Structure 1
Amino acid sequence: MVKAKNLLLYITLIILGTYFLFSGLIKAQSFLGPFVTAIILALLVFPLSGWMEQKISRSAASLINAFFLFLVSLAFLGLLSYQLESFVEKWPKIKETMKPKIEQVKQFAVNNTPLNESDLQLSSKKNGSGMIPAVSSSGQVPQKKAATLLSTISGAVGNFLLTFIYVFFLLNYRRKFKNFLLRVFPDEKRDKVNSVIIKSAKVAPKYLVGRLVLIAFLAILYAIGLGISGVNNFILVSIVAAILSLIPYLGNIIGLAMAMAFGYLTSGEIGVLVGIIITFSVAQFLESYVLEPYVVGDRVDLHPFVVILAVVIGNLVWGIIGMILAIPVVGILTVILLHIEALKPYGILLSKRKFSKD
């Protein structure tokens, strides 16, 4: 009876702890999101910063690396904005191209389903109505929307800039943070903690660099296939689609949809559609079975089920940024767990490698 009560108490504490943990993570997104992103970026440029510090001061090297990451991020945002602008410009042509195909789908639905043309017209009217909210004479709704939009944009810009400020301080004062971690633990465990810190700091950048190399390979594969297929702006589409592969599963779907928008929806040719599907199918096969095992390898090895859980939980907690950060964060956590003997069983649970019983 006592054991049953203790087990029930432990289960209750675990459930409550998990609930409050994720509730806290959701509430602290505006702070933790940029900070965790900065940690990942700082680990990425850590080897480069260490090499630069042999020639210049640590502060200067940290500032240069933070500014370099800032420029790279601006370039990526510029690519996205250019693609969005190009899509908006082509939207009238896309509508004109797809209009007969939509009519064919409607006709197929009328001929092969219980629906009739009046049902489809009524559905179209319902989807088109009710989209514009009522506006009072004082214009309260537009004012509220403008204020909300302005607040959202200013918050996003602030977090974006704050991320690179964090990167600078993490690189510049990393020795202070390391000494803090060492002093938290007892003296007899400091050598072990120092070893874990060093191994984690070396493994994480290797994994992230491996992902960047994988993105470069995917960009080349996409560019070749989409160029042959006749997709407009195929180079930019390929680069953005490859970068979006950082978001597991969903990123590939978004990349495919973007290629469809600039290829098939613009031209309306079946050959372009077939070429896009073949390109992404071949690229995903090579990524899963050739590129990822040999380029990324065992730098961070997560079980596929853990990857899916991490992405889903990351999306629930922090949205898209959570999906992007989920894999590197859980990957780095797995590396740390595997190097701490007391926590190694949890690392084995997250890892896809097979470990001997001893």
Structure 2
Amino acid sequence: MTDLRWQMLALFVLLTAALYFLAPVLTPFAVAAMFAYLFDPLANRLERLKLSRAAAVSIVFLALTLLVLLILLLLIPYLSRQVAAFINHLPQWIGWVQTVALPWLSARFDLNLEMPDVQQLTAALQEHWKEAGGVAATVVAQISKSGFALLSWITRLVVVPVAFFYLLRDWPLMVKQIHDLLPRSVEPTVSRLAREADETLSAFVRGQLSVMIALGAIYAIGLWAVGIDVGPLIGLIAGLISFVPYLGSIIGILMGVIAALVQYGDWLHVVLVAIVFVTGQLLEGYVLVPRMVGEKIGLHPLAVIFAVLAGGELFGFLGVLLALPFTSVLIVVLRYAYARYRASELYHTEASALNPYAEPAPQIIMPEPVATADAKEAAAPPKPPLGEA
């Protein structure tokens, strides 16, 4: 058993070192594996329709390719215009905060609030945004100076879809092979923990990602219907950061209220913005989360934030990609260790058994009950009947 533990420790050290030194090479494969994990259930559903695995994976791959092309052709130019409009409106927002919001707060709550000087930051954002095409051309020129760097960049870009296709096609086979490689002594425990980790990870990644996209669409369409110029961009931002409870709605409603006041200057549009986000919160709590996440226990938002930051600090972009899978496995292992501890003798052993110098627990001696007259009469031997004495 001791040799096995040392072997497991050595294997863990080797894997960690490989991740650290081969992070740039492993990154495209990690991205492909993430997409394969996300879309494996869809391929499984197509297989249930009497399709082969190769045909199901081909359909998923073609559908995703068309979706990516559609996003590149339609969504990215629209978002680019939204970001440009947002930066153009930013000076008006800052001016409204300086001239209206801060004086009102100071007068109402007797606060001495000062707005930091962000005019230079706004001007810099506008200047760099106008020069975005030049910046992109400069970056491409710098990359193209080194033929090896350009070739490496193109290779990694091409590796992602190719590796995604093959990983998605062979995903069930790889899972079976990993299962067969497990030592038979730990196979039942490891398989159960792997299923729990998959449920935990899928509850967050698949479920929460679906909720984020749905909320972003609801907020974007709602603010667009209200008439906010940069409403779709605000809605998408609020939806993408909604994995932290209430953070997306709070930031979204603050940005939406400021945009409504600056653009219209009335309370009607403020109320409409609030209605959009309240509706989104109600749909999230009563429709989206029950249907897309269900009763599964996902990852805590603080655990997600810490895992992503720690993974990026240790392994760069590869660490960000592996943060959620590693955290889900770690949480399941900690739950298993906690359950084993609660069932162990260490948890149930009395203090006197662990510490021979511990004082024994005092024995409580209950006093004898006081016999009443009725009790004495009941306890006395029965008297013989008359005539038998």
- TM-score, normalised relative to structure 1: 0.59
CA distance in structure 1 between the partners assigned to 2:141 and 2:257 by the alignment: 32
Q: Is the 8 A contact 2:211 2:289 kept in 1?
A: yes
Higher share in helix: 1
Aligned counterpart, 1:59: 54
Structure 1 residues 193-204: aligned runs within 5 Å: none
Q: Please state how far the C-alpha of 1:82 moved relative to its aligned partner.
A: 1.5
Letter in 1 for 2:39: V
Q: Which structure 2 segments of 5+ residues have no match?
A: 1-8, 128-134, 345-389
Q: Please state how far the C-alpha of 1:331 moved relative to its aligned partner.
A: 3.2
Q: Which has the higher contact order (CA 8 A, sep 6+)?
A: 1
Aligned counterpart, 1:38: 32
Report the CA distance shift for 1:302/1:321 in structure 2 as closer, same or farther (over 3 A): same
CA distance in structure 1 between the partners assigned to 2:234 and 2:173 by the alignment: 43
Letter in 2 for 1:309: F
Letter in 2 for 1:267: Q
Structure 1 residues 180-329: aligned runs within 5 Å: 180-190=177-187, 205=202, 208-215=205-212, 217-219=214-216, 221-223=218-220, 225-227=222-224, 229-232=226-229, 234=231, 238=235, 240-241=236-237, 244-245=240-241, 248=244, 252=248, 256=252, 260=256, 263-264=259-260, 267=263, 269=265, 271=267, 272=269, 275-276=272-273, 279-280=276-277, 283=280, 287=284, 291-292=288-289, 295-317=292-314, 326-327=323-324
Q: Is the 8 A contact 1:264 1:273 kept in 2?
A: yes
Matched, 1:344 2:339: no
**Greater Cα shift, 315-324 or 48-57:** 315-324
Q: Which structure 1 segments of 5+ residues have no match?
A: 1-12, 133-140, 350-354
Bigger Rg over Cα: 2
Q: Please state how far the C-alpha of 1:262 moved relative to its aligned partner.
A: 10
Matched, 1:71 2:63: no
**Aligned partner of residue 186 in structure 1, secondary structure:** coil
Q: Please state how far the C-alpha of 1:34 moved relative to its aligned partner.
A: 3.3
Aligned counterpart, 1:4: none
Aligned counterpart, 1:85: 81
- TM-score, normalised relative to structure 2: 0.56
1:157-182 CA-partner distances (Å, limit 9, x unpaired): 76454333222111222244234313
Q: Is the 8 A contact 2:239 2:248 kept in 1?
A: no
Report the CA distance shift for 1:222/1:99 in structure 2 as closer, same or farther (over 3 A): closer
1:301-340 CA-partner distances (Å, limit 9, x unpaired): 33444233224324545778866764465336645x48xx
Q: Is the 8 A contact 2:93 2:259 kept in 1?
A: no
Q: Is the 8 A contact 1:97 1:268 kept in 2?
A: no
Q: Please state how far the C-alpha of 1:88 moved relative to its aligned partner.
A: 1.9
Q: Please state how far the C-alpha of 1:70 moved relative to its aligned partner.
A: 3.4
Aligned counterpart, 2:166: 169
Letter in 1 for 2:337: P
Q: Is the 8 A contact 1:237 1:258 kept in 2?
A: no
**Aligned partner of residue 301 in structure 1, secondary structure:** coil
Instruction: State, as a whole percentage, how many aligned pairs show the same letter.
Output: 24
Letter in 1 for 2:34: I
Q: How many residues align?
A: 315
**Greater Cα shift, 144-153 or 176-185:** 144-153
Q: Please state how far the C-alpha of 1:76 moved relative to its aligned partner.
A: 4.5
Aligned counterpart, 2:96: 101
